[in-house]
Amino acid sequence: MALLPDIRLEVPVGAMNGEYGFVRWVMHATGKDGPFQLNGADCITTRNGLVCETYINFDTTEFRRLSGYDLKI
């Protein structure tokens, strides 16, 4: 959050089927070279109405390029 204080996630679509679901998201933020957008998707598993597992999927190389930060992700 310190590197991208204006980070905002837009969620254009998501769906659940029982305990399993997904969320497609678009990150909006300002990196070292200015504003950028990055797409990603989360695969979610819930139990008893609580998220118990999530896999966050996005292109880390593209994140580094767009943000200007070489983070260890």
Model confidence, pTM: 0.84
Tally of structural domains, the chain? 1
71 pLDDT more than 80: no
Is 73 within the bounds of a domain? no
User: Is-contact 20 45, C-beta < 8 A?
Assistant: yes
73 pLDDT more than 70: no
pLDDT for residue 6: 96
pLDDT for residue 3: 86
> Considering only 15-19, 55-59, 67-71, which range has the smallest mean pLDDT?
67-71
Alpha carbon distances (Å) from 40 to 15, 49, 66: 15, 23, 14
- CATH number where 20 lies: 3.10.450.50
Reported as a single tens digit per residue, the pLDDT across 9-51 is 999 999 999 999 999 999 999 999 999 999 999 999 999 999 9
